[in-house]
Amino acid sequence: MFKPYGVITPVLTALDEQEKFNPKAYAKFIDHLIEHGVHGIFALGTNGEFYAFSMEEKLEIIKTAIEAVKGRVPVYAGTGCVTTKETVELTQRVSKMGGVDCLSVISPYFVSITQDDLFRHYKAVAECTDLPILLYNIPARTGNNIAFQTVKKLAQFNNIIGIKDSSGNFDNTLKYIENTDPRLSVLAGSDSLILWTLLAGGAGAISGCSNVFPDLMVSIYNLFKEGKIAEANEAQKKIRPFRNVMQMGNPNSVVKRAAQLLGYDVGPARAPSNVENKAIDDALLEVFKLYK
């Protein structure tokens, strides 16, 4: 079964000034990321603004990602929606495309649900596709934390192959690694915890910051694999100033703004989460000086 690894980029979805999807710019940005060593391309993650697009737009974005990657690295696609019905429908339509290596399925958001509800939701998704599935835990955005007991129970489905933990709670990540099923791959969703997740037995990271600093983020994983832990730690620490600026606004919108300021044609975020703030721009420009 598919094994995720390394630093995977949840690619910024390129838009034009009218906030329409820009496939040419999207493909060019994907080329740039692959050329700078990322280990996977993830269409429609949080940094890809999955929440901002219709189903038909999502299908176009994923199709464009597949065509742009051309088999050079694995393609991950986000198919999680609020309801089980919609998630199953999108998952099935993406599964029929061909070219996607792994699905990422965020837990239902906005609605307050139980762990039993989560189990039934993911069971329905796992049973509707043969593609590998990576669970996506981000309780600050969804309001629902996927308990390690639920992850352990979900491991009975062979195509559930791991989980991305964006809880920011390292103890939660450790519980996934230590108390679920050894075959499951655990990926860091918080860029500040990449090295520590690797040291604890994790498989890598889905790194929003790799949209802006792909070489730096990839180096954390590569140095770790080479056994150069002190150097990996130095690389890990370098991302802190940028992470601090991300907290000044909607984090994934700040990442997109940073890419814009560096000259990448990714366009604005969809309103209302577009960042137009001189203080954030000034802070980003100061941070960029640290990476020259």
For the stretch 241-290, pLDDT in tens is 999 999 999 999 999 999 999 999 999 999 999 888 999 999 999 999 99
Assess whether pLDDT exceeds 80 at residue 6: yes
Out of 19-23, 186-190, 227-231, 275-279, pick the least confident. 275-279
Cα–Cα–Cα angle for 12, 17, 19, rounded to 5 degrees = 60
Which one-letter amino acid corresponds to residue 289?
K
Residue 16 neighbours by CB distance under 10 Å: 13
- Catalytic machinery residues: 136, 164
Query: 3-class SS at 274?
Result: coil
Q: What pLDDT is recorded for position 240? A: 97
Could you tell me the pLDDT band of residue 38, with boundaries at 50, 70 and 90? very high
Q: What pLDDT is recorded for position 137? A: 98
pLDDT digits (tens, 9 = 90+) for 217-229: 999 999 999 999 9
Q: What pLDDT is recorded for position 266? A: 98
Domain boundaries 6-237, CATH class: alpha beta
pLDDT digits (tens, 9 = 90+) for 60-119: 999 999 999 999 999 999 999 999 999 999 999 999 999 999 999 999 999 999 999 999
Assess whether pLDDT exceeds 90 at residue 31: yes
- Prediction pTM value: 0.97
Which two structure tokens, joined as six digits, stand for 43? Answer: 């269409």
- Closest Cα partner for 151 from 128, 127, 124, 185? 185
Alpha-helical regions (H) of the chain? 23-35, 55-69, 84-95, 115-127, 139-142, 148-154, 170-179, 194-199, 214-225, 229-238, 240-246, 251-261, 278-290
Query: Are the C-beta atoms of 43 and 77 separated by less than 8 Å?
Result: yes
